[in-house]
Amino acid sequence: MTILITAKDYKSTNLPTLKKQYADLIEKGTIPTLHVILVGENPASVIYTRNKKKFIENLGGKCEIINLPETISEKELLENINNISSSPDIHGCFVQMPLPQHLSHLDVGQLIPPSKDVDGFHAENLYHVMTGNFDETTLLPCTPKGVIKLLKEYKVELEGKDVVIIGRSMIVGKPLSLLFTAENSTVTICHSKTKDLIEKTKAANIIVAAIGKANFLNADYLNEKGDQVIVDVGINKDSEGKLCGDVDTESMKNKCHAITPVPGGVGPMTIYCLAENLLVAANNLRNK
């Protein structure tokens, strides 16, 4: 039987501790406070930011969504980012992606001070990911951090294991590969130019799909042993408009040891880790 690895299970074990840590900090007089800059009204972005707000408020933190008009100029956006990120009462800040076309050239992750970069996208935070020299006070990128936490929760061994990551984005593939390397896994990053992908996934102990192609990975990519672990980071819509991942989960059943379903697998870990990063940032700023 294939095990379903879910954020729900992770949260049922770990959320009470996170809630307690928020409560402790609030009792000391610091309410972890996040500001999210939302430019325009992209429907998916509106839902994402709302979910983040709800999650953080549920923990006792504060979260403001700063709605800026779709037509805002680059100069005005930068002023807004600067004002928000320089306020001492705000511990974490990020700009919800994607930005409108006329602003899409901006690498906004670099405009937030590293100490408040709860997304973990700033060069300085990614440097720690690269060195492998990080601890619980480091702001690690949320989705990669969530994947590692989820696998560890389910006692999936990482050291000495062969990991194939499909996708080389800055949000998932590349930082995740470095986190796995820090865990002593042997990582191969695959992408659109990779040859013989099936040979590579068949030889892996853990396969991570993070390419944004609906149902891309199916049972043909697995070996016969049935002991592989499949991590699905994709969030797509299939041809019928139904939410689905990068993995054709149905075809995988009983052909792998464990799999993260979409929805409910990796997805909610991103918000969880964002909330954790906000706590870390608030604590770091307090202890400075």
Among 19, 62, 200, 257, binds a copy of itself (CB under 8 A): 200
CB of 260 to a copy of itself, least distance (A): 23
Residue with tokens 């980071």: 233
- Does 131 bind a copy of itself (CB under 8 A)? Our answer is yes
Contact 82, 95 (CB under 8 A): no
Nearer to a copy of itself, 59 or 163 (CB): 163
Binding flag, residue 113, a copy of itself (CB under 8 A): no
Q: What is the largest CA-CA distance in the chain?
A: 56
Helices (H), 139-266: 142-153, 173-182, 197-202, 249-252
- Judged by CB under 8 A, the stretch of 3-11, 49-57, 81-89, 119-127 that binds a copy of itself is 119-127
Q: Could you say which of 124, 220, 227, 250 contacts a copy of itself (CB under 8 A)? A: 124
Q: Which is nearer to a copy of itself, 34 or 187 (CB)?
A: 187
- Nearest to a copy of itself of 209, 282 (CB atom): 209
Q: Does 57 bind a copy of itself (CB under 8 A)?
A: no
**Distance from CA of residue 126 to its chain's centroid?**
13
Number of residues that bind a copy of itself (CB under 8 A): 28
Count of H helices and E strands in the chain?
A: 9, 11
Angle (nearest 5°) at CA 22 between 16 and 27: 125
Q: Is 243 in the site for a copy of itself (CB under 8 A)?
A: no
Instruction: Name the nearest CA neighbour of 34 among 90, 73, 85, 110.
Output: 90
C-beta closer to a copy of itself: residue 32 or 114: 114
Does residue 187 touch a copy of itself according to CB under 8 A? Answer: yes
Stretch in the footprint of a copy of itself (CB under 8 A) among 71-79, 86-94, 121-129, 270-278: 121-129
With beta carbons less than 8 A apart as the criterion, state whether 275 and 17 touch. no
| Spatial separation of the C-alpha atoms in residues 223 and 238, rounded to whole Å | 25
Choosing from 58, 73, 104, 194, the residue that interacts with a copy of itself (CB under 8 A) is 194
Pairing of strands 206-209, 229-232: parallel
Nearer to a copy of itself, 24 or 124 (CB): 124
Nearest partner of 139 among 157, 151, 156, 122, judged by Cα: 122
Contacting residues toward a copy of itself, per CB under 8 A: 110, 123-124, 126-127, 130-131, 159-162, 168, 170, 174, 177-178, 181, 184, 186-191, 193-195, 200
